[in-house]
Amino acid sequence: MYGTGIPLIIADFVKRADLSTAEYVFVVLTYGAYTGAVENMTYNILDAAGRVSDYITKVKMADNYLPIFSPRRVKNLRC
């Protein structure tokens, strides 16, 4: 998720995708810190596309929002 929402490119993909023959729709949302109401947004986008998600989950990933997240300094990284 970007900016407490769904990245536009993903929202656009969901709107355009033909999911009419999909037996199940699973959604995996990745985030770095907090998710806000992203499940509701996902529901609304799918609903507008005429689908309901069968399952939604969230996975916490490394935060790549660089204005807030500070990556470790290279000297502190273990390779």
Ligand X SMILES: Cc1cc2nc3c(=O)[nH]c(=O)nc-3n(C[C@H](O)[C@H](O)[C@H](O)COP(=O)(O)O)c2cc1C
Question: What are the residues binding ligand X (CB under 6 A)?
Answer: 1-4, 30-35, 61-65
- Residue type at 6? I
Q: How far is the CB of 20 from ligand X (least distance, A)?
A: 26
Cβ-based nearer residue to ligand X, 68 or 74 = 68
Least distance (Å) between residue 39 CB and ligand X: 13
The full 3-state SS of the chain, as one line of letters, equals: CECCECCHHHHHHHHHCCCCCCCCCEEEEEECCCCCCHHHHHHHHHHHCCCCCCEEEEEECCCCCCCCCCCCCHHHCCC
Nearer to ligand X, 2 or 43 (CB): 2
- Whole-number minimum distance, CB 18 to ligand X, in Å? 23
Is the CB of 28 or the CB of 77 nearer to ligand X? 28
